[in-house]
C-alpha cells in the first residue's frame, strides 16, 4: 500500500514515499527533498555467506546525468565508473549505518541510492543518507537505527542547516553530520580554520535537527515497518573461547608488547599457530573457531592495557606522539617532495605544478566544472608487508586522498596570486596507523618545497577511543593511534588544521555513537 510521510527540514519539505517503487527490495522508499529525488533501497540475501569473519555490507550512491538534465561527457554516452563524489558519498553513508548492524550478521546487505533528480539547493547526499536510513529501518533487516543526516554551513558566525548552493560557496565550513537520537555517528568536515568551540557548537546545533529526523523515521517504521528476521549467529562457542583464553592469555599479553609492528605481528602469528595446534588436539571440531577466538583475545589484551594499566602496547603514554622525522628535496626532477614519518608510518608526497590549462575538468551533477588542486593517495601492499599487486584505486584510497585535499585547500594561495594547477600525490611507504594524516603533513612539506606560497602549514593527527562495554560513560581517549589501536579500538577521529583552527575532520566509529563529552 502506498504511503506518504512529510516533515519540514530546514525550511523545505522532506517527503518519504513507501509501498510503490522497487517492491522486490527488502526495504525501499522514495525521498523527495525540494526537487531532489532519490530512490533508496536495502536488500539482504536470504542466507548468510559462508566462510567469512565480517559483515558483508555494500553501500552505493549512483549518480545519473539525467538527474540534472545533462548528457554524459566523452565518447561513450552512458554513465561509467562512479565519480569521486559518488564514492565519497557512498563512504559517508556507510560509516553511520555500519556500526548499528549486529556484529555477527553474515547475510549480504546492499544499500543502494539512485539519484533521479537534483535540486542544487537540496543536497542529494543528505537525501540519500536519510533515504538509506529509512529503507533499512522499514525493512526486515536487523538494525539498531534509525539515523538522521544533515549538512551544516557557517556564515557570519551563524550555523546554517542544509545550506543552499550559494550559501555553500561563501560558507566558512561544510560539515556532514549523522547520528541517532542520542549520539553522533559520523562527522565529515571541511573548514576554513574554524576554532574548536565553534565546531562543537555547530555539531550540537545540528544534532538537534538529526533528532527530529530520527523521530520522523521512527513514525514511518511504526506505520509500515516489517518485523526483523532472525539470523544465524556465528559467535564463538563459550567452551572454545575459554580454552583459548586459558592457553594463550598470558602469552598474548607478552606478544603484543613491542613498538615494532613486524616483531609484534610475528609473535602473534606464532602464538596463533601454537594455539590452533593445541585446540585441535583438544577437539578437532573447535579448530574452525580458533581464528575468531584469537582475534577476540588480542582485542581484549590491547584494550586491557589501555583501560587497566593506562599504557599502550608500544610503551607510550595515552597522550604521547610517536617520534617524528621529516625531509624535503629528495627527488631531483620533481617540483617538490616531502617525506614525513611518525613512528612506523611513512609517507612520501610529491608536488607537481602546471599551467591552469591542466586543471581537472569535472563532469558531475554539481555546477562545479573544474578543479585546480588535486590530491591523490596510494596505498600499496608493501606498505603493510603484503605481497599484493596494485590493480586499481580503491574507495579507501579515493577517500583518504579527498580528506588530505580538503585539509589543505584553505591554505592554498588564490588563483590570481598563484596561477598554477597543483597536484600532490601521497605514496604510503610504511603503514602503522594514521596514513591519511601523515599524507597531510607530507603534503605541507612538498607544497613548500615546490615553492607554493601556502598561507600556513597544516598538520594532522588521529585520536582513538575505547569505551567500557559495561559502562559507556567510562572511556579513554588517546592520541596518535597506531594500526593495532585502530583495529581494536572504537574510534578513529582524524583532525587536521593550522595553528589557528580546524581545516578538516573525519570520524570513523565502531560503537553506536559518540557523546558530546567524547567529541
> What's the N-to-C CA distance of the chain in angstroms?
42
Phi then psi for 355, rounded to 5 degrees?
Answer: -60, 160
Q: Per-residue pLDDT for 390 more than 80?
A: no
Rounded to whole angstroms, how far apart are CA atoms 43 and 22?
10
Can you give the C-alpha Rg of the chain in angstroms?
Answer: 24
In 3D, which of 6, 13, 30, 216 has the Cα closest to residue 115? 30
Residue-level pLDDT at 418:
97
Phi-psi region of 5 (alpha: psi -120 to 50; beta: other; left: phi over 0): beta
Q: What is the pTM of this model?
A: 0.94
Of all residues in the chain, the percent with pLDDT exceeding 90 is 87
398-439 pLDDT, tens digit each: 999 999 999 999 999 999 999 999 999 999 999 999 999 999
What are the residues whose beta carbons fall under 8 Å from the beta carbon of 461, sequence distance 6 or more? 321, 434, 437, 479, 480, 494, 495, 496
49-67 pLDDT, tens digit each: 988 889 999 999 999 999 9
Q: What distance separates the 2 farthest-apart alpha carbons in the chain? A: 73
200-250 pLDDT, tens digit each: 999 999 999 999 999 999 999 999 999 999 998 878 899 999 999 999 999
151-197 pLDDT, tens digit each: 999 999 999 999 999 999 999 999 999 999 999 999 999 999 999 99
Rounded to whole angstroms, how far apart are CA atoms 365 and 117?
10
Average pLDDT score over residue span 85-96 = 97
Residue-level pLDDT at 472:
82
122 in helix, strand or coil? strand
Residue-level pLDDT at 35:
97
- Show the domains of the chain with their CATH numbers: 3-224 (3.30.230.70), 238-307 (1.10.10.400), 324-460 (3.30.230.70)
- Judge contact between 371 and 380, C-beta under 8 A: no
Q: Per-residue pLDDT for 76 more than 90?
A: no
Q: Per-residue pLDDT for 366 more than 90?
A: no
Amino acid at each position: 500500500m502506498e504511503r506518504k510521510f512529510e516533515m519540514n527540514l530546514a525550511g523545505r519539505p522532506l517527503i518519504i514515499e513507501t509501498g510503490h517503487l522497487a517492491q522486490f527490495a527488502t526495504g525501499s522508499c522514495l525521498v523527495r527533498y525540494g526537487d531532489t529525488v532519490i530512490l533508496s533501497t536495502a536488500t539482504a540475501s536470504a542466507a548468510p555467506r559462508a566462510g567469512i569473519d565480517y559483515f558483508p555490507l555494500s553501500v552505493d550512491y549512483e549518480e545519473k546525468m539525467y538527474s540534472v538534465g545533462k548528457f554524459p561527457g566523452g565518447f561513450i554516452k552512458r554513465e561509467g565508473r562512479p565519480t569521486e563524489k559518488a564514492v565519497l558519498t557512498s563512504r559517508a553513508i556507510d560509516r553511520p549505518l555500519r556500526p548499528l548492524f549486529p556484529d555477527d550478521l553474515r547475510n549480504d546487505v546492499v544499500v543502494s541510492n539512485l539519484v533521479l533528480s537534483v535540486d542544487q539547493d537540496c543536497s542529494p547526499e543528505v537525501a540519500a543518507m536519510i533515504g538509506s536510513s529509512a529503507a533499512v529501518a522499514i525493512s526486515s533487516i536487523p538494525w539498531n537505527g534509525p539515523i538522521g543526516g544533515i549538512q551544516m554551513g557557517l556564515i557570519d558566525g551563524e550555523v546554517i542547516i542544509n545550506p543552499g548552493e550559494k550559501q555553500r560557496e561563501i560558507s566558512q565550513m561544510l560539515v556532514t553530520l549523522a547520528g541517532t537520537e542520542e549520539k553522533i555517528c559520523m562527522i565529515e568536515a571541511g573548514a576554513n580554520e574554524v576554532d574548536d568551540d565553534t565546531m562543537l557548537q555547530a555539531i550540537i546545533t545540528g544534532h538537534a535537527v538529526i533528532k527530529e529526523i530520527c523521530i520522523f523515521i521512527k513514525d514511518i517504521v511504526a506505520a509500515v515497518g516489517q518485523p526483523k528476521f532472525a539470523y544465524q549467529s556465528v559467535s564463538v562457542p563459550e567452551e572454545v573461547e575459554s580454552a583459548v583464553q586459558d592457553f594463550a592469555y598470558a602469552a598474548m599479553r607478552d606478544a603484543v608488547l613491542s613498538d615494532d609492528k613486524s616483531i609484534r605481528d610475528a609473535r602473534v602469528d606464532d602464538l596463533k599457530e601454537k594455539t590452533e595446534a593445541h585446540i585441535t588436539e583438544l577437539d578437532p571440531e573447535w579448530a574452525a573457531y580458533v581464528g575468531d577466538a584469537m582475534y577476540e583475545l588480542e582485542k581484549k589484551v590491547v584494550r586491557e592495557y589501555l583501560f587497566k594499566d593506562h599504557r599502550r602496547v608500544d610503551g607510550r603514554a595515552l597522550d604521547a606522539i610517536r617520534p617524528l622525522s621529516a625531509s624535503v628535496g629528495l627527488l631531483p626532477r620533481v617540483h617538490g617532495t616531502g617525506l614525513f614519518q611518525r613512528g612506523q608510518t611513512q609517507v612520501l608526497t610529491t608536488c607537481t605544478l602546471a599551467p591552469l590549462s591542466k586543471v581537472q575538468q569535472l563532469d558531475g551533477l554539481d555546477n562545479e566544472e573544474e578543479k585546480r588542486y588535486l590530491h591523490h593517495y596510494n596505498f600499496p601492499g608493501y606498505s603493510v608487508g603484503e605481497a599484493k599487486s596494485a590493480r586499481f584505486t580503491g574507495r579507501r584510497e579515493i577517500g583518504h586522498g579527498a580528506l588530505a585535499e580538503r585539509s589543505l585547500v584553505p591554505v592554498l594561495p588564490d588563483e590570481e596570486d598563484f596561477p598554477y594547477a597543483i597536484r600532490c600525490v601521497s605514496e604510503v611507504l610504511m603503514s602503522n596507523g594514521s596514513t591519511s594524516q601523515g599524507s597531510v603533513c607530507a603534503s605541507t612539506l612538498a607544497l613548500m618545497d615546490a615553492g607554493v606560497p601556502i598561507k600556513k602549514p597544516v598538520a594532522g593527527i588521529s585520536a582513538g577511543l575505547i569505551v567500557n562495554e559495561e559502562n559507556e560513560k567510562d572511556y579513554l581517549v588517546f592520541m596518535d593511534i597506531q594500526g593495532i589501536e585502530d583495529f581494536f579500538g572504537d574510534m578513529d577521529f582524524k583532525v587536521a588544521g593550522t595553528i589557528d583552527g580546524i581545516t578538516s575532520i573525519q570520524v570513523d566509529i565502531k560503537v553506536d555513537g559518540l557523546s558530546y563529552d567524547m567529541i
